[in-house]
Structure 1
Amino acid sequence: MELSVQPFTVHKRFPLTISRGTSSQNTNLWVRIKDQEIEGWGEATPFSVTTEGYKNTSSLLEELEQLTSSLKSLTPLDRQSIEAILTEKQASSAVRAAIDIALYDWLGKKANLPLWRLWGLDRRKIVPISVTVGITSPEAAKQRVRNWRQVLEPEIIKVKLGSPNGIEADQAMLLAILEEAPQARITVDANGGWSLDNALLMGDWLAQQGVEYIEQPLPVGEEDKLAILYQHSPLPIFVDESCFSSQDIIRLAACVHGINIKIMKSGGLSEAIKMIHLAKVCGLKVMFGCYSDSTLANTAMFHLAPLADYLDLDSHLNLVDDPFTGVKLEQGRLLPNDLPGLGVTLTVNSYKL
């Protein structure tokens, strides 16, 4: 099989600020695997918090180019052999994700079935997506909600907290969003921006405001404190940056209520499926999230969306130059289409060979 890679840059309509910084654009990698005149597509997205350290676009591109010759003699059906090579080469999770997505896209196209149908899933079970409001001033937060209304009427709003200006700034911003969108369901993601004391204080306060859950309240490396928070928090606790793979679920299951699965963290749909089923066996809720992913990667995750309790896959809705078309917005829900594989195509006048 032939593997080819092409970088593409996407720009956010509105920059996103979280506790670790602000992003306005991202250069991702479009990965294509071709065999028997069928081409499967995948995406690798750099992201800032990884167990391997930060992997930028250049390092991901170098990894993929080094894999080209090793994979050439195999076919997309040689999954066990491909996995052995990726393990031997110590491929990063984003590179694994790109290849895994492309292999599933190829398989779906070979079978002439969309992935959700290949897996026997029911699109009617897909829950509404949430939209994200990053850390900002109260007035700017209200405006961001109004901006989202130009795309869809938000049913669920994920609010990024963990402001460097402290929990008072977090509280002021959340109250502004509640005023602007009193009917919306509100969730909170601190991206590891709180100390344990602040997380305990905010948990009580957020519960009084009707918030549904708190995501990643504590920094990576402070997982030993989650048990205290789990015992005292009136709200469910989800982990994101602290949970990359199935192994992390086993380690954290007793002190959290849910996990956020991101395809770039997990290393692809294969590991995401394992994580979903293991989390459910452990009695945990499952959320899907994203980084600065385009429609390609988000559509891949939406094929598994009938298995998710919460969906935070909105990154492509904030892009002004997304080169791909795939998952479709229908009445507050994003649904994969009936095309084979991922069902992703290039937009008109977009990136070409």
Structure 2
Amino acid sequence: MRLQFAPYVLHFKQPAGTSRGILNEKITCFLRVYDENDPTQFGIGEAGIFPGLSPEADDRFFYKLMELQANVRLGLQTDLERFPSLQCGFEQAIRDFASGCRGIYYESPFIEGMSDIEINGLVWMGDFDKMIERIESKLSEGFRCIKLKIGAIDWRKEIEMIEFIRAQYPREKVEIRVDANGGFTMDNAIPRLHRLHELGVHSIEQPIKQGNPDLMRFLCEVSPLPIALDEELIGKFTTENKIEMLDYIKPSYIVLKPTLIGGFSGSEEWIRLAEERGIGWWVTSSLESNIGLNALAQWVATLNTTIPQGLGTGALYTNNFKSPLELHGDRLSYNPSLHLDRKQISELDWRE
């Protein structure tokens, strides 16, 4: 077996506001595995490395990638525990190859078009008027769960946005999740959590920056609003690390981003440990292309979850790939008559 990789730059249709600034492009890396006797048949995966978040977002990524290539050629195992994006992309490529190179990563009624996945409507950061416009658009499209990225504008304006939703839709009709991306401080976190709770917000992701377990534990104890850990999961590589964090902080939820926390296998361990402790969870994509999203959606469909998931829809980029994923209202489905364009994929800048 052989492994090749292809770096790729995804271009946003419009600048995307995040807690880490404005994004105009997103770098990713595709992996393909194939039998040298028939290179036209290959398994495809996406290592969605994320600068500033991925533990391996430096030169180590390509050194480990070269090691992985050599070991694949020799039929040897590679320890990818500390390289979650590579682990995620390699898992995908191997699964696709094993299923006959058809873009099928997980068998389920989902890939037969017989089930779908409820997702949240993500409202990107922006100025007040732009975010209100985006909220109205998501609500008119039929989303019953809205996720707001907060922390980019004045706090009072952000509260106004939530009040705008609640004036039209009670909590029984529309669920509101917020993601602070670590934007709160020790001084303002508690009053803000109380105010969000008063407005019927479902939960908040990462109210303070990761790496402050004592304060996060305290907030989880006293907050009337359920807290979900997101970035806090990054860098917890061993089972012992994961157990220690969950048992100490005791969050209400965890947010799973496979490309940042050890691929699908690593995420499944997080799910098992969380469920053993009565901790809820949902899955969120990490700006993947349609290649990664396709694999991610197929995996999520096997988890039998009943709450909205944070999956992307592939609509962010100008140079994305054709996909079998379709969005109808707030339901993400798979069209079996459509496929990833493997000819388009084969024409990428593949490197040995």
TM-score by length of 1: 0.82
Aligned length: 335
Name the aligned partner's letter for residue 175 of structure 1. Answer: E
Greater Cα shift, 178-187 or 212-221? 178-187
Q: CA deviation at 1:231?
A: 1.7
Match of 1:158 among 147, 150, 156: 147
Q: Secondary structure at the match of 1:318?
A: coil
Q: CA deviation at 1:338?
A: 4.9
Match of 1:345 among 325, 340, 343: 340
TM-superposition CA deviations, 1:263-309 (whole Å, max 9, x none): 21122112122222222122111111122211111222212324244
Greater Cα shift, 13-22 or 95-104? 13-22
TM-superposition CA deviations, 1:177-216 (whole Å, max 9, x none): 5567775321000011111332211211111111111111
Distance 2:66 2:169 in 1: 47
Match of 2:185 among 195, 210, 223: 195
Structure-2 change in CA distance of 1:336 and 1:253 (3 Å) = farther
TM-score by length of 2: 0.82
1:77-92 map, 5 Å? 81-82=76-77, 85-87=78-80, 92=83
Match of 1:94 among 85, 99, 117: 85
Aligned partner of 2:319 in structure 1 is: 321
Aligned partner of 1:107 in structure 2 is: 98
Matched, 1:263 2:258: yes
Aligned partner of 1:42 in structure 2 is: 45
Distance 2:103 2:295 in 1: 14
Q: CA deviation at 1:60?
A: 3.6
Q: Secondary structure at the match of 1:135?
A: coil
Distance 1:350 1:67 in 2: 21
Name the aligned partner's letter for residue 245 of structure 2. Answer: L
Name the aligned partner's letter for residue 184 of structure 1. Answer: V
Structure-2 change in CA distance of 1:66 and 1:271 (3 Å) = same
Q: Which runs of 5+ in 2 are unaligned?
A: none
Q: CA deviation at 1:139?
A: 0.9
Q: Secondary structure at the match of 2:231?
A: coil
CA RMSD of aligned residues (A): 3.2
Distance 1:62 1:147 in 2: 44
Name the aligned partner's letter for residue 218 of structure 2. Answer: I
Matched, 1:174 2:162: yes
Structure-2 change in CA distance of 1:101 and 1:329 (3 Å) = same
Q: CA deviation at 1:347?
A: 7.8
Q: CA deviation at 1:123?
A: 8.1
- Is contact 2:92-2:105 (8 Å) kept? no
Name the aligned partner's letter for residue 28 of structure 2. Answer: N
- Is contact 2:228-2:255 (8 Å) kept? yes
Distance 1:20 1:227 in 2: 24
Name the aligned partner's letter for residue 6 of structure 2. Answer: Q
Q: Secondary structure at the match of 2:207?
A: coil
Q: Which runs of 5+ in 1 are unaligned?
A: 75-80
Greater Cα shift, 309-318 or 212-221? 309-318
Name the aligned partner's letter for residue 208 of structure 2. Answer: L
Aligned partner of 1:139 in structure 2 is: 129
TM-superposition CA deviations, 1:114-139 (whole Å, max 9, x none): 44327999987754111211222221
Name the aligned partner's letter for residue 316 of structure 2. Answer: N
Distance 1:295 1:178 in 2: 33
1:161-310 map, 5 Å? 161-163=150-152, 165-178=153-166, 183-244=173-234, 245=236, 246-254=239-247, 255-306=250-301, 307=303, 308=305, 309-310=307-308
Structure-2 change in CA distance of 1:181 and 1:134 (3 Å) = farther
- Is contact 2:116-2:334 (8 Å) kept? no
TM-superposition CA deviations, 1:300-323 (whole Å, max 9, x none): 221232424441112623223212
Structure-2 change in CA distance of 1:179 and 1:352 (3 Å) = farther
- Is contact 2:32-2:42 (8 Å) kept? yes
Structure-2 change in CA distance of 1:52 and 1:102 (3 Å) = same
Structure-2 change in CA distance of 1:283 and 1:124 (3 Å) = farther
Name the aligned partner's letter for residue 340 of structure 2. Answer: T
Greater Cα shift, 231-240 or 60-69? 60-69
TM-superposition CA deviations, 1:151-181 (whole Å, max 9, x none): x432211101123x55334323433455677
Aligned partner of 2:72 in structure 1 is: 71
